[in-house]
Amino acid sequence: MIHDIEILLALTGKEPVGIQAAGIHILSEKVDIANVRMEFPGGVIANLTASRASTEKVRKLRVFQPGAYLSMDYAKQELFGIEIGPQRQIRIKPQLVVKNEPLRLELEAFLSSVTTREKPKVDGETSLRALKVALDVVDKIELHASVVSETLKVAGYPSY
């Protein structure tokens, strides 16, 4: 989820003002499924889901705004937009995406930054901002888990 958080921070240019998060362990002793809702200044709301227990790999970003919708499928490397016209007509606009291997691009960018001594595309400050938000998400998940655990305990269910 760290990359999703990094993308959100880049898109909004702001830190979240509110975070709600829940997670559960299914396959391991760690959180296997997490759901996060972030609120940003100006009314931007982001819903994130990450799962190690899913039967399919889904890597999508969807952006909704008045009169338009964008959908990015990272796995398929496809992007399209939907615009709503003045008479409520719908126009689907596929966008050109140059397909490439993301890990390869990341490593090439890192090597280029090291050899040229230029600032990387994603610098330490940017990564630190995302890490701080991610740690806030972990804290919220742990807080939610303790509430659920106590509720189950009071109801007489065994602890997990």
Assess if CATH 3.40.50.300 describes domain 2-57+100-154: no
Helix (H, G, I), strand (E, B) or coil at 18: strand
Q: For the beta carbon of residue 25, count every other beta carbon within 10 angstroms.
A: 14
Q: For the beta carbon of residue 71, count every other beta carbon within 10 angstroms.
A: 15
**Distance between CA 41 and CA 16 in Å, rounded?**
7
pLDDT at 159 over 80: no
| List of E strands, 86-151 | 90-95
Q: List pLDDT tens digits, range 2-52.
A: 999 999 999 999 999 999 999 988 888 888 999 999 999 999 999 999 998
Q: List pLDDT tens digits, range 101-148.
A: 989 998 999 999 999 999 988 888 999 999 999 999 999 999 998 888
- Enter the pTM of the model: 0.83
- Return the bridge partners of 19, or none: 38
* Domain residue limits, the chain: 2-57+100-154
Please check whether residue 21 is in contact with residue 49, taking contact to mean a CB–CB distance below 8 angstroms. Answer: no
